[in-house]
Amino acid sequence: MCAYSSCQFNVMKITDPAFNYDTFGQSYSVQRQTEPEIEKQINKALRDAYSVINVGAGTGSYEPDDRYLIAVEPSVTMRAQRLIHGKVPAINATADALPFDEGVFDAATAFLTVHHWSDIPKRLNKIRRVTHGKIIIPGTFSRFTG
């Protein structure tokens, strides 16, 4: 495992990482449905983690229902869709400014969100600060070396 500042990432290139989900995400929860096999793998990866923070939580497609979960989502449109679908409410925050003490979560997740971050190592370090266990980021990196 590498220190995040020394990791090498090969990520999808996005010209505008600040995609506006408030404008274009009105039907996101209809388009993005939980795939059972991916959900199974995520739960397996979480193992015995009880408290989980989901950063860039969106509508909550892959959040585990059997754990203490805090969802972090900056888009008001995405937060509203969570409530329609019975997901836990999300707090209005970003990976840049997580309002939690150090090491309070057993694990962290970030599903299909990292490609929107302009400084991936910086945000991973912010998530690491509040998490003392695994950070699970499925389907985001095409290659990870370190």
* pLDDT of amino acid 88: 94
CA-nearest of 71, 70, 73, 117 to 94 is: 73
Least confident among 14-23, 31-40, 81-90, 102-111:
14-23
Q: Tell me the domains of the chain and their CATH numbers.
A: 4-13+48-145 (3.40.50.150)
Least confident among 70-79, 102-111, 133-142:
133-142
Show the CA angle centred on residue 99, arms to residues 28 and 83, nearest 5°: 30
CA-nearest of 88, 133, 94 to 114 is: 94
Provide the pairing of β-strand 90-91 with 143-145.
unpaired
SS3 61: coil
pLDDT tens by residue, 25-49: 555 545 556 678 878 888 899 999 9
